[in-house]
Structure 1
C-alpha cells in the first residue's frame, strides 16, 4: 500500500476511534477509491471493503481477485459463483474482530442487497452512514488533491474560453458541448458533465443540452467540468452572442456580487449556512430572491457532488482543506438564466478560487 493510502487508513482509524466505530463497510464507490485506490466492477456480486481498528480486507468475487491484486496488498476473502459469498463473509467478519453488537458505518452509496447482507450477519449492530468517518476525511483535501483539482480547473478555463470564442449563429447547444468534449480529449481529460443553455433555456437550472440553435442576442450559459488524472473540475460562465439581452448586465452584476459576498463569508469557523446566506442576501436585496432556486453550493473532490453542502440549513463548520462550489443564480423564465460558479478551497484562512477565468460576460465569437 502506498504512503498516501497508508496515511488515509491511519486517519480513518483515528476517526473511527473518535466516533466509537467498530467497523466500516464500503462497497465499490468513490469511498473505496479514496481508501484503497480500487474500483472493481460493480454488479450484483457482493464486493466489500471492511475496516476495523485492527484489520482491513476485502470480500471479493474470485473473478475479480487477480485484477484487483494489482492495486492493493490488503487481503482478499474470495468467493465463487458456485459457493456464494456467505462463508467468505463469515470469515472476513471474524478476521475484523468485530464485537457481537458492533457500531458499524455503512457506505450510503452501495447496493441495498450488499448492505442487508452485512446487517443480516450482524443482527445486533447499530448503524449509520459515512458522514463522520471517511466522508469527513474526504471533505478535507490534502496538498496532492489540491494540485490535481487546480490542474483540472485550469484546463477547464481553457476549454470554456475556447468554446465562447467559437460561438456562431446556428450552432446548437450540442455542437458547443461536443466542441468542449473534444478540447478535453485533446488535452488528456474526459468530459465529466456539460450543460450548454441558449437564451430562455438558461432559466432552467438543470436544462438538458439539446438542439436549440444559437441566434444573435441570446444569453449563453456554460456549466461544464472535465476529469483529469482522477479529479474533476466544475465551473459556470456566462456570455451572449452579439448584443446582450435586455437587463442582462444588471442581473450579471447582482449575481457576481453574490459570488463575491459568499467567497468573503467562506472562512474557517463559519457555517455552510453563513455562506449560503451571504449570497442569498445580495440577490434578495436586489428583489430577485424568489428567482434564486437552489442551494449556493456543493462539495467537490473525487465526486463532483460530495460534502460539504452549502445550504440555508447546513450547520457544517467550514475547516481548512474543504472544497466546494459557490454558484448563485437568477432565473427569469422566458428570458434567460444567469449563474456564475466558482470552486473554492478553504486554504490559509480564506476561500481560494481554483479557476483563473474572469467572471465577466463574454461576447461569443469575439
Structure 2
C-alpha cells in the first residue's frame, strides 16, 4: 500500500480522465500542477525536472542533486541525472518506461512549464499532438474535495481575524505599509504566512492593483483592504472596505452598488451556469447604476493551490461551473483621483448554490468619527 494515498487517488483520477479524453501522456513541470498531483515541489531552475504520467507508469525526470529531498514527498520512481551527464539518457529511459515511444501520441503539457523543458520533451517524441492541461489536471484541480475545502476555510478564518485587526488598528498618520505589518503579525500569530496584501487609502483605491506605500491615513479617507494568507498549502483572499471619518453620499452610493453586485453574482453562481453569466449578473447591476465604465476587471478568479487559477469569472468565459469549484466574486467601482470600492468573497459551489468562506460581514467599516 502506498505511503501517499492522497497522491495515489489523484493519480487514479487523472488516469480515468486521460482515458476519457484520449490522452496518452501527461507531462508536468515543477509547478503547482506537480505539487497538487504528487506532493512534490522541487526547486525550479534551469535543470530539467518533470513528472510523466501514462496509463501504465508515472515517474520523474529528476536532477540527482534534488532527488534526496524530493524522495520524502513521493514513492514514485525517479530517473535521476547528473550535471556532468545531462538529462538526455534519463529522459529517454523515462519515456521508454512510460511506453511513450510511438508516433502521434496525444500529449498534455503543463502550460506553466519552462519552454526549454517542454521543447526538450517534444523533440524527444515522434510527431506528438499536444495540448495544455485544461481538460485533465486543470479540470480535476477545479473540483475541490472536502480536505481542500477545510484547508481553504481555515485560511479564511485566519484572514478574517487579520482584517478585523487591521481595521481596529487604524489611526491618523499610519501609512499603508504600517497596516501591512499589522496584518503580517496577525497571520504569524495564527501560524500562517502572508500571500499578498494591498492596503489602499483614499485615492490609492482608485487603482485596482495598488501597491501599498507611504500614503498616510487622514480624516475622511476611504480605506480598502485586499489581503490573503497561506496555511498548509492553501491561500485565502478577501477584500473589505470602510471609511475613516464620515462617509459622504457618493461613497455610500458606490458602496451600496458594489454590495448589490456581489449579492447578484453570488445568487447567480450555481452548478451548470456559465462563468460569463455570473460576471454579467454583477456587471449589469453596476452598469444600470451608471458606473459600468468604472468596473475595470473580470468578476473573479479561481482559487486553490494557486491564488489565481481556473475557473475565471469573466464576460467571455464559456466555462460551465461545477460543484466543487472555488472562485472569487469581487466586483468593483474605481473613481480615479477619488476612491475605489471592491468587495470580495471566495465561494465554493455546492449543489444548491454558492457558499462563502469568509465569516466577516461585508458591511462598511466606519471608524475614527
* Residue aligning to 2:70: 68
CA distance in 2 between partners of 1:275 and 1:337 (Å): 22
Q: Is this contact kept in 2: 1:31–1:134, CA < 8 A?
A: yes
Q: Given the alignment of the two structures, is residue 342 of structure 1 paired with residue 342 of structure 2, yes or no?
A: no
* Residue aligning to 1:31: 33
Segments of structure 2 that go 5 or more residues without pairing to the other structure are none
CA distance in 2 between partners of 1:122 and 1:365 (Å): 66
Q: Deviations over 1:193-240 (max 9, x none)?
A: 000000001010011111100101110000000001111000000011
Q: Given the alignment of the two structures, is residue 120 of structure 1 paired with residue 123 of structure 2, yes or no?
A: yes
Q: Given the alignment of the two structures, is residue 284 of structure 1 paired with residue 273 of structure 2, yes or no?
A: no
CA distance in 2 between partners of 1:214 and 1:327 (Å): 24
Give the TM-score normalised by the residue count of structure 2: 0.98
CA distance in 1 between partners of 2:53 and 2:126 (Å): 18
Q: SS of the counterpart of 2:225?
A: strand
* Residue aligning to 1:214: 217
* Residue aligning to 1:364: 367
* Residue aligning to 1:6: 8
* Residue aligning to 2:18: 16
TM-superposed deviation, 1:349: 2.1
Paired residues for 1:293-308 under 5 Å: 293-308=296-311
* Residue aligning to 2:58: 56
TM-superposed deviation, 1:245: 4.0
TM-superposed deviation, 1:246: 4.4
* Residue aligning to 1:42: 44
Q: Which runs of 4+ in 1 moved over 2 A?
A: none
TM-superposed deviation, 1:348: 3.0
Q: Deviations over 1:320-345 (max 9, x none)?
A: 00000000000011110000000000
Paired residues for 1:262-277 under 5 Å: 262-277=265-280
* Residue aligning to 1:151: 154
CA distance in 2 between partners of 1:44 and 1:283 (Å): 47
Q: Is this contact kept in 1: 2:240–2:342, CA < 8 A?
A: yes
Of the candidates 140, 145, 152, which is equivalent to residue 143 of structure 2? 140
Count residues with an aligned counterpart.
366
Q: Is this contact kept in 2: 1:166–1:365, CA < 8 A?
A: no
Q: Is this contact kept in 2: 1:166–1:364, CA < 8 A?
A: no
Segments of structure 1 that go 5 or more residues without pairing to the other structure are none
Give the TM-score normalised by the residue count of structure 1: 0.99
